[in-house]
Amino acid sequence: MRQRILGVLILLLGLVMSVPAPVATASAAATGPQVYGAWHCSDDACIWGRVRTLAEFDSMNHWLIDRGDGRPSVNLVVLSFVEPQKLLHRTNDATTVDGIPRGITPEIVQYFTSRGIRVMLSIGGITYTDAWDAALTENATQLGLNAAEAATRLGVGIEIDYEQNTNPNLTGLQAFIDAYRSRHAYDASGTDRTARLTIDTAAGDRWLIGINRKATADWLRTDVPALDYANAMVPARQPSAGGAIANWQEHIDGKSTYSPPVPPLAPAKFTGGLYISDQSKSLPECTSFASSLQKSTGSFTQSAAPKGAGTTAGLLGYMFWAAEKPSTRGTGTQPPNTCEGGVGAGATAYSIPLPMPPLRQN
């Protein structure tokens, strides 16, 4: 009997030892969002065409700098949009001064930066796609230099929002980036606010393919980055949690079946975009963190594993479209539809760092 028991024990030990060890994966401990920002359209559907007093501006936007306890709801605001041709020509007209919309003043920038919120200017948007094409064709290098000068003058970073889905001028866009970087070199520390240069891509890999391919392959690399990161923009309408995650996963996976292929993008090199403003009703993303997509997608965005690019898990964070009045129709985020309960509560739940820390590089 003793020998039989011993034999059984030896057999069991052999079975245990034959079980393969768990395979290590790229997934790491959850990484909290570092970027938690909002595009901002002023009160005139993204024109920023008039100078506003700080008192009036604060009455419409106080939630951005105060989630209810004195702390800001976001750590980044992207003022949208600068028209590319006007920037190239340094236009002065009814809505523009030296190529920059009249409403984007040093005082508005300081309204945010004095609270530890980083500020960037977005050049383009879907309305100004033709203007991007024309400006890049006319003088892409000068456009980049003018963008760099505006960044210096206002103490801000720059976002490239070039939404050309068919034959984008990638040679011109490369010249724009080179010119900008000749004035503001890449700064991994994030200390130089004017060195922050980002790009918008589609929600997933199936639109703006040419821009996405070029950006992923050449500008968003972790070894020799030219741009700081990308924003995966909102799709045509607010997605489900599963739909948002599927879009973002496309960037991480790349598209090997495309010709030429789209390479994988490091999770640390992009943010995911969500709507906070709707044309017909308030969204949970604005009003109720408990019911919001930034909550239901949080596990994915904090733990998404690299699939061929990068080494750390988790997206860089979230961007929200858009503060105040992105459309002439709809509710916007001005009172009484302010977003302390959604974006602000999310900032608390995710312990969003203020000011924005140095960003993960890989």
pLDDT tens by residue, 218-232:
999 999 999 999 999
Predicted local confidence at residue 12, as pLDDT: 36
Angle value at C-alpha 220, between 227 and 322, nearest 5 degrees? 65
Q: Is the pLDDT of residue 15 over 90?
A: no
Assign residue 217 a region: left if phi > 0, alpha if psi is -120 to 50, beta otherwise? alpha
pLDDT tens digit string along 192-221? 999 999 999 999 999 999 999 999 999 999
pLDDT-derived band at 30 (thresholds 50, 70, 90) equals: confident
Residues 6+ apart with CB under 8 A from 231: 159, 198, 199, 200, 201, 270, 271, 273, 319
pLDDT-derived band at 17 (thresholds 50, 70, 90) equals: very low
pLDDT tens digit string along 268-285? 999 999 999 976 778 999
Q: Are 335 and 243 in contact (CB under 8 A)?
A: no
Q: What is the mean pLDDT of the chain?
A: 92
Of 57, 49, 118, give the one whose Cα is nearest residue 86.
Answer: 49
Neighbours of 280 (CB within 10 A): 8
Q: Which residue has the higher pLDDT, 329 or 88?
A: 88
Predicted local confidence at residue 29, as pLDDT: 66
Q: Is the pLDDT of residue 113 over 80?
A: yes
**What is residue 98's three-state secondary structure?**
coil
Cis peptide before 355 (omega within 30 of 0): yes
SS3 content of the chain, % helix, strand, coil (to 5): 40, 15, 45
Dist. CA 270–CA 253, nearest whole Å? 13
Q: Is the pLDDT of residue 8 over 50?
A: no
Predicted local confidence at residue 159, as pLDDT: 99
Of 228, 341, 358, 252, give the one whose Cα is nearest residue 294.
Answer: 341
Q: Which residue has the tokens 């030219």?
A: 226
Dist. CA 333–CA 137, nearest whole Å? 37
Predicted local confidence at residue 282, as pLDDT: 81
Predicted local confidence at residue 281, as pLDDT: 77
As a whole number, mean pLDDT of residues 74-79 equals 98
DSSP for 4-50, please give it.
Answer: HHHHHHHHHHHHHHHSPPPPP-S--S----SEEEEEE-TTTTS---S
Residues 6+ apart with CB under 8 A from 292: 283, 284, 285, 342, 346
Predicted local confidence at residue 177, as pLDDT: 98
Domains of the chain plus CATH, in order, are 30-349 (3.20.20.80)
Dist. CA 61–CA 357, nearest whole Å? 24
Dist. CA 175–CA 171, nearest whole Å? 6
Q: Is the pLDDT of residue 341 over 50?
A: yes
pLDDT tens digit string along 290-304? 999 999 999 999 999
Of 146, 101, 110, give the one whose Cα is nearest residue 128.
Answer: 101
pLDDT-derived band at 250 (thresholds 50, 70, 90) equals: very high
